Structure 1
Amino acid sequence: MATPRQTIAPDAGAIERIARDAIARLPHAFRAHLGNVVLQIEEFADEETLAALGLKDPFQLSGLYSGRPIGTKSIDDSGTLPDMIHLYRRALLDEWCEGGETLETLVAHVMIHEIGHHFGLSDDDMHALEQDAGHAPG
């Protein structure tokens, strides 16, 4: 029997499920500090976000962390917006089509990178976390 084929692009709900699965496979020490981080799936980053990052093409941004890293938070942060991880569906799908990775691997990679910003991790630390969680891109 043939395996059913994906004939339409994954919607925001599918991207969110993949992202949450990636989170579930992280070590408990990381998951325990993500409860207040909001996961937002959007089609593209808005014009204001792109301009703030110096980007003109919305396909250049597949994910973004907005908030303050855990180590820099203080009591003065009371009343601020929650920390958020934004995943941009269309940019992710475009990158997926252009690359040789599965969508699950790509979304996990972007999620771990953005989670890394939440923890104030370096790029090397993020790469090691991906390796430990079995999410490293091929």
Structure 2
Amino acid sequence: MRIDESFAARAPDADAMEAMARRSLDGLPLEFREQMGNVVLRVEEYADAESLNAVGLTHPMQLSGLYTGRPIETKSVSDFGTLPDIIHLYRQPILAEAAQRRISVEQLVHHVLIHEVGHHFGFSDADMHALEDSAD
């Protein structure tokens, strides 16, 4: 998809998108924020081939966010030396989808972030789609 030039000129950079995501995290209820632990937030331009392959996708514009790590219900106090959990937000796919859907980038960042936070709490994609459908 081609993003119109006026939109691209005012599109948020990675730092601005990260600030949007942090505002969304700060807006979570305290009981959820407390369980986010040391989850790292990263804004990258696109998913790499390994990440795409891991979720069965082939094109970097197909993936707007990804949670890598272990859901909290599978963690143990005896875990040691594990990599941090990471929420990846992919800037270019988010910008393209926001333009296509004619919604604000901040709305879409919030939506994608909450979806990835759901994975941290052990929800599957099917679980989250069902919750979204019941909220509509």
Fold-level similarity (TM above 0.5):
yes
**Match of 1:95?**
97
User: Would you say 1:59 and 2:61 are equivalent positions?
Assistant: yes
Alignment of 1:76-115 (within 5 A): 77-115=79-117
* Aligned Cα root-mean-square deviation (Å): 2.2
Give per-residue Cα distances to partners, 1:39-92, cap 9 Å, x unaligned: 011000111111222211100000000011101112453111100000000111
SS in 1 for 2:35: coil
Gaps of 5+ in 1: none
The CA distance in 1 between the partners of 2:62 and 2:40, in whole Å, is 22
User: Would you say 1:123 and 2:125 are equivalent positions?
Assistant: no
User: CA 1:80–1:46 in structure 2 vs 1: closer, same or farther (change >3 Å)?
Assistant: same
Higher helix share: 2
**Match of 1:41?**
43
The CA distance in 2 between the partners of 1:81 and 1:19, in whole Å, is 21
The CA distance in 2 between the partners of 1:48 and 1:113, in whole Å, is 20
Residue from 15, 18, 24 that aligns with 1:16 = 18
Gaps of 5+ in 2: 1-5
Native 8 Å contact 1:112 1:126 kept in 2: no
